[in-house]
Structure 1
Amino acid sequence: MTITIGVDIGGSHITSAAVDITTSEIISGTYYRGPVNSKASKDLIFKDWARVINKTLNSINSNETIGIGFAMPGPFQYKIGKAMFEKNDKYESLYQVSVVNELIHYLDHKKVELRFLNDASSFGLGGKLTNEFKENSRVVAITIGTGFGAAFLKDNFPIADDDLVPQGGCLWDKNYKKGIADDYFSTRWFIARYSLLSGKEGINGVKDIVNFNNEYTHQVFQEFSNNLAEFMLPYLLDFNTDLLLIGGNITRSHQLFLPMVIDLWNKQGFKIPVRIIQKSEEANLIGASYLFNETFWETIKDELPAL
């Protein structure tokens, strides 16, 4: 198959599009996005997902079997397509539900095959495939937004079980300061830290903090820069990284932290190309659709993390 569908599952939305996997390009007229209530029942969640996916399915109007690749957050059993969301405030009604077996009942097109990849891995793969980075063999991709995602790619393949990468190929759960990385590299850290420094409550997100443009804004971004530079450097060195890709909602404010991060690394003698992927969702879709590159799939399917 040359046309597959990529789906990006977010905490509050779903995005779907058909992708030409020979060119890694989204096909015009097939891109759809819609809201999802991740705290709803299984039935309502699947209806929200199917509402968007069906629009893409109907836009390509094919009688052949259609591959649908999902960029899916964890915890998830990616090889068998079972959700393991528990105590993480989203999609908990899907706990131990086989998405691969049950979602098909909500789709208009029944001749489909579903495959799943971690959303951070999808982002890194899609970001690399669609830009000028094809010559870079060791790529680390991170997403900074509601949570902190990471992927380690070697020659386009996600690496999770290797001495050169952290356990599970993830960073969100690694110890940092008084907690874990996700506590420090996420929207909730920005809100909590700004509120503590300024005494201001009712902050909705990082965009509010940027718009305040005051001394507390600059202090928060300075601290974030110091933390990110300190935390990431050992992992980048261990992997012998030759490219760092960054995506996620917080990268819309990259001018307030990325120059400081790069400067801190340069002062320690570490230089690496860093690129912002502005269209993170599109990268997720393209990366997820690549699950139907059969060479790629046969290589990674038995290496996919259980959670």
Structure 2
Amino acid sequence: MRRYAIGADIGGSHISCAVIDLNSKTIITETYASEEVNNKAEAKDIHDRWATAINRSLAHISADEVAGIGFAMPGPFSYDKGVALFTAQNDKLEKLYGINVGDELRTRLSINAASDIRFMNDATAFAVGEAWFGMGKDYCRSLSITLGTGFGSAFIADGIPVVDGNEVPDMGCVWHLPYKGSIADNNFSTRWCIRRYKELSGVEANGVKQIAEEAESSKVAKLVFEELGSNLGEFLAPWMIKFGAEALIIGGNISKAYRHFGQSLEKAFKNSGCQVAVHQSELMEDAALVGAARLFDEDFWSHVQPLLSKM
């Protein structure tokens, strides 16, 4: 087996990547690379920026040692075919619509024909990374979520994403499920925090970080996070119980404010009869890199490849 894989995390305005040693399960820190990306740019410009970052990581290792490049990619995306499905409605990367991203990138990357390019949903990649060598590694069943611009989630059983069946919602994620007259994504994200803060204070916050800083002394800011935790616990508990999850791992920018919403979250779990360990991610953004690189652990790939079309 080729020893190394590149894990690449595609965000709304950037790409981050690094070399992962598949044998030792470590990130080679000196290979970190990132590039800012204008998600409204033409397809050529986006692919060029992505390739620039990846080639900087690849420069640290021999091409003959690279199993491939794994992408943690937001949706909508055809993960099994490598084709972008973003439209203007998604407000990002729409110029990539219908393009086979793997084919476009291969011509720009310093890899040989034996190296593959594979894709997985970004929230799923985060969960896989946490289960592989993050906070979920000691649990058979876990749910990982990311709280930030959007609400990402993935259920993991024995290291493998669970995307269908009676134990999980459709697509194996929860962002689209109804909650409080809307969907979960609208209730557990940055925009909810900003909206709720304005409803309570009449002031427009510039982000969750500001609200978190004010929560140290402001009753209004503190209440925003207490509501977030209570609502999140109420929403997740039935699915945690149904799945038999042993742990919840929380990442994303909002997770950095866990001290402000953790108590109300755990209280809501307890009130719902949900006994589960709750962990803040330590890998954070690195978890998605790790999870994407694991696409080149061939035993894992044999299990996950049939699931990609369902993500």
Same fold per superposition (TM over 0.5): yes
Determine whether 1:300 maps to 2:301. no
- The 2-side partners of 1:175 and 1:7 are apart by 31
Matching of residues 72-111 of structure 1 within 5 Å? 72-86=73-87, 87-111=89-113
The residue that corresponds to 2:270 in the other structure is: 266
- The 1-side partners of 2:100 and 2:274 are apart by 44
1:64 deviates by 4.8
1:132 deviates by 6.0
1:200 deviates by 1.2
Cα distance change, pair 306–101 in 1 and its aligned pair in 2 (3 A): farther
Deviations 1:248-277, CA, capped at 9 Å, x for gaps? 010110000012111222233322111110
The amino acid of 2:210's aligned partner reads: D
- The 2-side partners of 1:225 and 1:134 are apart by 24
Equivalent in 188, 192, 198 of residue 201 of structure 2: 198
The residue that corresponds to 2:225 in the other structure is: 221
Equivalent in 118, 121, 143 of residue 146 of structure 2: 143
Unaligned runs of 5+ in 2: none
1:279 deviates by 2.7
Unaligned runs of 5+ in 1: none
The residue that corresponds to 2:164 in the other structure is: 161
The residue that corresponds to 1:236 in the other structure is: 240
Whether the aligned pair in 1 keeps the contact of 2:130 and 2:137 (CA below 8 Å) is no
- The 1-side partners of 2:137 and 2:227 are apart by 33
The amino acid of 1:35's aligned partner reads: E
1:62 deviates by 2.5
Equivalent in 99, 116, 121 of residue 118 of structure 1: 121
Residue 31 of structure 2 aligns to a residue in which SS?
coil
- The 1-side partners of 2:65 and 2:23 are apart by 18
Cα distance change, pair 65–131 in 1 and its aligned pair in 2 (3 A): closer
Residue 238 of structure 1 aligns to a residue in which SS?
helix
The residue that corresponds to 1:61 in the other structure is: 62
Whether the aligned pair in 1 keeps the contact of 2:142 and 2:247 (CA below 8 Å) is yes
- The 1-side partners of 2:146 and 2:295 are apart by 20
The amino acid of 1:156's aligned partner reads: G
Matching of residues 1-80 of structure 1 within 5 Å? 1-64=2-65, 66-80=67-81
Determine whether 1:178 maps to 2:213. no
Residue 168 of structure 1 aligns to a residue in which SS?
helix
- The 2-side partners of 1:261 and 1:292 are apart by 36
Deviations 1:154-189, CA, capped at 9 Å, x for gaps? 111101011100001011111111111100111111
The residue that corresponds to 1:209 in the other structure is: 211
Q: TM-score, normalised by structure 2?
A: 0.94
- The 2-side partners of 1:198 and 1:156 are apart by 43
Instruction: Say what the alpha-carbon RMSD is for the aligned residues.
Output: 1.5
Residue 28 of structure 1 aligns to a residue in which SS?
strand
- The 2-side partners of 1:147 and 1:133 are apart by 21
The amino acid of 1:62's aligned partner reads: A
Whether the aligned pair in 2 keeps the contact of 1:145 and 1:249 (CA below 8 Å) is yes
1:120 deviates by 1.1
The size of the alignment, in residue pairs, is: 306
Cα distance change, pair 238–226 in 1 and its aligned pair in 2 (3 A): same
Determine whether 1:127 maps to 2:127. no
1:97 deviates by 1.1
1:209 deviates by 1.1
- The 2-side partners of 1:122 and 1:304 are apart by 12
Moved more, 145-154 or 271-280: 271-280
Whether the aligned pair in 2 keeps the contact of 1:152 and 1:158 (CA below 8 Å) is yes
- The 2-side partners of 1:118 and 1:132 are apart by 19
The amino acid of 2:43's aligned partner reads: K
